[in-house]
Amino acid sequence: MMKIVITGASGQLGKELTQIFKDKGYEVIPLDKKQLDITNQTKIKQMMLDIQPDCLINTGAFTQVDLCETEIEKAYLINGIGPYYLACEAKEKKIKFFHISTDYVFNGEKAEPYIEEDSPNPKTIYGKSKQLGETLTLAAYENTTIIRTSWLYGHEGKNFVNIIKKLASQTQEIRVVYDQYGCPTYTKDLGLAIESLLTKPHGIYHITNSGSCSWCEFANEIVTFLKSQTVVIPVSTEEYGLKTPRPVYSVLSHKKLNSKGIFLRNWKEALHEFLKKEDDSSEN
């Protein structure tokens, strides 16, 4: 069975992928940032020599959008240079390489879902550093698969769903932006799609749950499912006062993914399963 190394394995996607691949019988070696600093090429070379994997999946990233604006060097090192080093070593060993990217590589000004061929034009340091990661990995190794995803949430992670859940149990009102649109994505569904891509051609793929919504609609769905009395108050991006601009519209097209026979369920169905699992685990 294929031996798979997952970098950034302590994050919510890394944990989900580790569990999914183990459940499917793969030999999985999860490495967190303490076990492997992806910005250290010497350590990557040693890891590849020691483990000799058949596939390398990089989920490691510096994802704190506001912090990226001030910790610029860190953002470019982790999101750009680190993935490049991994791609170089994957090429050296002639193994499959997967790299997780983001909707933030686009400017968010399109009026219809972004396709893989659309030109990236990021507006933030986070987006620019992630675009650099895409550009460098593809230049370094043609057998690279880039996965762009968005609005990710999973178990054991800080994310929008868990934040809204917590606020719904503590406050009577939550202010949420109504004029930004995207695709919520459950780590479980993303992970299963990535596993399906192991046997598909390399390239760039957009993977999110199907359908789209605003952050406000997303929050309302969470609060409604929880049967909370908390009221979600719609506010504009300008009123909310974010430090760093977010894409106004970052819905990703699934046409290419669907053409490979891979389909993801609607975001509401995925969200309900996630919330039920969270509820069940809290009772045990």
Place of tokens 């389909």: 263
What is the tens place of the pLDDT at every residue in 44-79?
A: 999 999 999 999 999 999 999 999 999 999 999 999
Residue 213: phi and psi, rounded to 5, are -165, 175
Domain assignment of residue 205, yes or no: yes
- Indicate the number of domains in the chain: 1
Domain assignment of residue 272, yes or no: no
pLDDT of amino acid 157: 82
What is the tens place of the pLDDT at every residue in 127-178?
A: 999 999 999 999 999 999 999 999 999 998 899 999 999 999 999 999 999 9
What is the tens place of the pLDDT at every residue in 195-221?
A: 999 999 999 999 999 999 999 999 999
74, 126 Cβ separation under 8 angstroms: no
Domain assignment of residue 278, yes or no: no
Domain assignment of residue 229, yes or no: no
Place of tokens 């957009």: 206
User: Which residues are identified as catalytic?
Assistant: 126
Domain assignment of residue 78, yes or no: yes
What is the tens place of the pLDDT at every residue in 219-273?
A: 999 999 999 999 999 999 999 988 898 999 999 999 999 999 999 999 999 999 9
CB neighbour list of residue 37: distance below 8 Å, 6 or more residues apart: 43
Q: Can you read off the two tokens belonging to residue 219?
A: 């929050």
What CATH number corresponds to the domain at position 140?
3.40.50.720
Domain assignment of residue 165, yes or no: no
Strands 152-153 and 185-186: parallel
Once rounded to an integer, what is the mean pLDDT over residues 87-103?
98
What letters, b where the CB count within 10 A reaches 16 and e where it falls short, cover 232-256? bebbeeeeeeeebebbebbbbbbeb
Strands 181-182 and 213-214: antiparallel
Domain assignment of residue 91, yes or no: yes
Query: What domain range is 71 assigned to?
Result: 3-159+186-209+251-264
Domain assignment of residue 173, yes or no: no
pLDDT of 283 strictly over 70: no
